[in-house]
Amino acid sequence: MTINPANADLVIVGAGLFGLTVAQQAAEHAGVRVLIIDVRDHIGGNAYSYFDKETGIEIHKYGAHLFHTSNRRVWEYVNRFTEFTDYVHRVYATHDGEVYPLPINLGTINQFFRAHYTPAEARALVERQAGEHAHGIARNLDEQGKKLIGQPLYEAFIKNYTAKQWQTDPAELPASIIRRLPVRFNYDNRYFKDTWEGLPKNGYTAWFERMIADPRIEVKLGVDFFDESQPLNRRTLAEAGVPVVYTGPIDRYFDYELGELKWRTVDFKERRYDEDDHFGCPVMNYSDADVPYTRAIEFKNFNPERAESYAPGKTVVWEEYSRFARRGDEPYYPINTDEDKSIYDQYRTKAQLEPNTVFGGRLGTYQYYDMHQVIDTALTAYVEEVAPLLNRW
């Protein structure tokens, strides 16, 4: 008889949104015992947040996370575990000492050109300023930006910001990165265009805790899946035949034997101000090359409804710096060069041959996902992959 070292019917590696969703579904629909392990000291993956002791402000530990979706299945699912505020995300950008609304819209255009263009006039202006790029095929990001919004707006708001974000000349980046760069010929400066949008009323961590409140779900933190000195490791679980959902980096799972997949990561520098409000908005982009960070986040402005609970005269701002990730860094954005795609395809083929293991989440599939996309893929993966695996188990 095979011994199950986890004493569970399903082990999930990674307590991010993919893993939490699969765990919740498995306990609810299959009635199985689920064990979630994570090398970090918290649940929620990169969406984890905590409340700052000094100020009472909710801090998003891995950068701003904003929930939005047009997927009714996802919206109905998440509302089982949290209520959402009526927050609507709007972004502003500082360029040459002046603040503009983003995405680029009629207000941005008229402010930038000191004009009062109508929508039709602004559209014609942008097309003229696209010049030779207007109807050609863009060979790189630089040409694609000029094609979409014209050279002056592109150079003011996109070129230097993108160069900082990718640490690469935009002329050397693929056009696909900004294939659908939004520009609106009206005064709508709502950042997302999804049907539903908001922030969890009691914070992200409270939401995630409710997802796994079922007594059949257990969480063990600070557990490294690749550390064979502890029992819940890859080799031991594979030998025991325990079904596993793996949400870590797919190249790490195979010990990088086909090469390393490349990612971008983000560093944060915290600043505390003795002010009630430093920016007057939650997110300020910095479009100019002489500012080393891409944007700054003032967390208290995500939740103005909590104003009475904040320490007066205090605010917390995080500056965001982008760079290439090294092994051991937190991977944020897949770089997805042709070489990366080829390496991932080879890993995916190997993953399909792994018995009793389902790969998921952004790290396990080398994809950039918003939160609602992670949840949607997890709900599908449970039905199509995890449930059949549990039935066999």
Which residues are catalytically annotated?
180, 184, 264, 295, 320, 368, 370
Q: How many residues does the chain have?
A: 393
User: CB of 101 within 8 A of CB of 89?
Assistant: no
Written as one string, the DSSP assignment of 1-27 is: ----TT-SSEEEE--SHHHHHHHHHII
If phi over 0 gives left and psi between -120 and 50 gives alpha, with beta otherwise, what is residue 31? left
- Whether the link from the prior residue into 103 is cis, omega within 30° of 0, is yes
User: CB of 177 within 8 A of CB of 145?
Assistant: no
Phi, psi of 293 (to 5 degrees): -100, 160
Q: What is the C-alpha separation between 86 and 58, in angstroms, rounded?
A: 17
Written as one string, the DSSP assignment of 172-209 is: GS-GGGGTT--B-SSS---S---SEEE-BTT-HHHHHH
Helices (H), 212-368: 234-240, 250-253, 338-352, 361-365
User: CB of 35 within 8 A of CB of 293?
Assistant: no
User: CB of 246 within 8 A of CB of 364?
Assistant: yes
- Cα–Cα distances (Å) from 127 to 57, 133, 135, 175, 365, in that order, read 44, 9, 9, 18, 38
User: CB of 177 within 8 A of CB of 53?
Assistant: no
Is residue 270 classed exposed, middle or buried when 0-12, 13-18 and 19+ CB atoms within 10 A define those classes? exposed
Q: Which residues fall within 8 angstroms of residue 18, CB to CB, at 6 or more apart?
A: 45, 245, 247, 360, 361, 362, 364, 374, 375, 377, 378, 381
Exposure of 147 in the CB half-sphere (CA atoms within 13 A): 18
